């Protein structure tokens, strides 16, 4: 079935446990594309999971079906606006109830299609919500400071030619770079030790590059950790110390977040993927 680009499609933010305060907390909020937010409930009473809900908004099909979405993925400003709106709704939900954040730009043909997905996966969602109860995500990134390119003038000497001076500077720069990467590895090992003491799970992400990093330096470590809520501050404090005494690196700890990296994604059999031509779901950017 094909959805007209003039009709809205259903954008899904998260799966959550129903909570008495949740509907009221979403009243008046606007999500992606400035759209209102509402809940889709599927009783699933035969599984004892009548309290599982899906948090959604109606969004323009022209922007979120495959062709429009593929075009927008090249627009960093558009992506940032969608990501901020998505994150704001997920955090609002997670502040009220256990929640499984869905991937950015998870879109269904309509509310009925989204409800079918919820019905088909309600037991799986219930198990994941139980697993993640009272746990939050913390992110740890390690950056290596950028080094200036060598120039012949950086090694002034009357006894060697500019060419040899340049090569000498290159060798020193390479040695410095190797040393700082060893320091980053040491910091990563320290973070791993902290994780073994405080975290219950770990997800490794690819280091960020380009515009996502800006002038922060080279991102060489980008992991997420699932930590019991009561241990979060201790984890943050200890992880932030991982760079102490190590020159040329910086450790950044962020959180707490809803458990984006640990929420099981919807199985592609519950909705089509990007290549099979069906219209139930459009997969967007990863967590």
Same domain, 99 and 161: no
Q: What is the pLDDT confidence band of residue 177, given thresholds at 50, 70 and 90?
A: confident
Q: Which residue has the higher pLDDT, 71 or 107?
A: 107
CA distance 273 to 266: 10
Same domain, 195 and 85: no
**Which residues 6+ apart lie within 8 Å of 44 measured at CB?**
50, 52, 118, 119, 122, 123
**Which residues 6+ apart lie within 8 Å of 176 measured at CB?**
147, 248
CA distance 16 to 91: 12
Is 65 contained in some domain?
yes
Q: Which of 139, 146, 155, 3 is nearest to 68 (CA)?
A: 3
Same domain, 23 and 114: yes
Mean pLDDT across the chain:
83
Q: What is the pLDDT confidence band of residue 157, given thresholds at 50, 70 and 90?
A: low
Same domain, 142 and 232: yes
Q: What is the pLDDT confidence band of residue 169, given thresholds at 50, 70 and 90?
A: low
The pLDDT assigned to 194 comes to 98
User: pTM (2 decimals)?
Assistant: 0.75
Domain count, the chain: 2
**Which residues 6+ apart lie within 8 Å of 243 measured at CB?**
142, 187, 249, 250, 251
DSSP letter at 100 equals E
Mean pLDDT along residues 84-97: 96
Same domain, 12 and 122: yes
pLDDT of residue 153 exceeding 60: no
The pLDDT assigned to 9 comes to 97
Is 210 contained in some domain?
yes
Q: Which of 203, 206, 221 is nearest to 262 (CA)?
A: 203
Domain boundary among 78, 100, 133: 133
Q: DSSP states of 46-84 as a string?
A: GGT-TTEEEEEEEEEHHHHSHHHHHHHTT-HHHHHHHHH
Mean pLDDT along residues 170-176: 58
CATH of the domain at 181: 3.30.70
Q: Which residue has the higher pLDDT, 65 or 108?
A: 108
Q: What is the pLDDT confidence band of residue 173, given thresholds at 50, 70 and 90?
A: low
Domain membership of residue 209 as a residue range: 136-257
Same domain, 129 and 12: yes
Same domain, 111 and 204: no
pLDDT of residue 127 exceeding 70: yes
Same domain, 15 and 94: yes
Is 276 contained in some domain?
no
**For 208-228, what is each residue's pLDDT tens digit?**
876 555 666 899 999 999 999
């Amino acid at each position: 079935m094909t959805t007209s680009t003039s009709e809205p499609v259903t954008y899904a933010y998260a799966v959550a446990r129903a909570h008495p305060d949740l509907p009221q907390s979403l009243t008046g909020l606007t999500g992606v594309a400035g759209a209102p937010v509402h809940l889709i409930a599927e009783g699933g009473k035969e599984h004892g999971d009548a309290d599982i809900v899906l948090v959604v908004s109606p969004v323009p099909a022209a922007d979120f079906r495959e062709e429009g979405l593929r075009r927008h993925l090249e627009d960093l400003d558009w992506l940032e606006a969608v990501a901020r709106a998505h994150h704001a709704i997920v955090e609002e939900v997670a502040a009220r109830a256990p929640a499984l954040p869905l991937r950015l730009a998870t879109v269904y043909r309509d509310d009925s299609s989204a409800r079918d997905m919820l019905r088909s996966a309600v037991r799986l969602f219930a198990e994941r919500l139980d697993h993640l109860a009272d746990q939050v995500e913390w992110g740890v990134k390690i950056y290596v400071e950028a080094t200036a390119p060598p120039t012949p003038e950086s090694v002034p000497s009357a006894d060697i030619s500019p060419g040899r001076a340049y090569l000498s500077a290159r060798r020193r720069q390479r040695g410095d770079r190797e040393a700082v990467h060893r320091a980053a590895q040491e910091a990563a090992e320290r973070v791993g030790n902290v994780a073994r003491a405080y975290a219950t799970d770990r997800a490794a992400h690819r280091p960020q590059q380009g515009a996502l990093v800006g002038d922060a330096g080279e991102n060489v470590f980008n992991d997420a950790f699932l930590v019991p809520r009561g241990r979060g501050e201790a984890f943050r404090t200890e992880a932030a110390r991982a760079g102490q005494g190590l020159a040329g690196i910086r450790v950044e700890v962020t959180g707490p977040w809803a458990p984006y990296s640990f929420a099981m994604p919807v199985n592609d059999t519950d909705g089509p993927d990007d290549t099979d031509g069906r219209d139930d779901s459009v997969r967007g950017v990863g967590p």
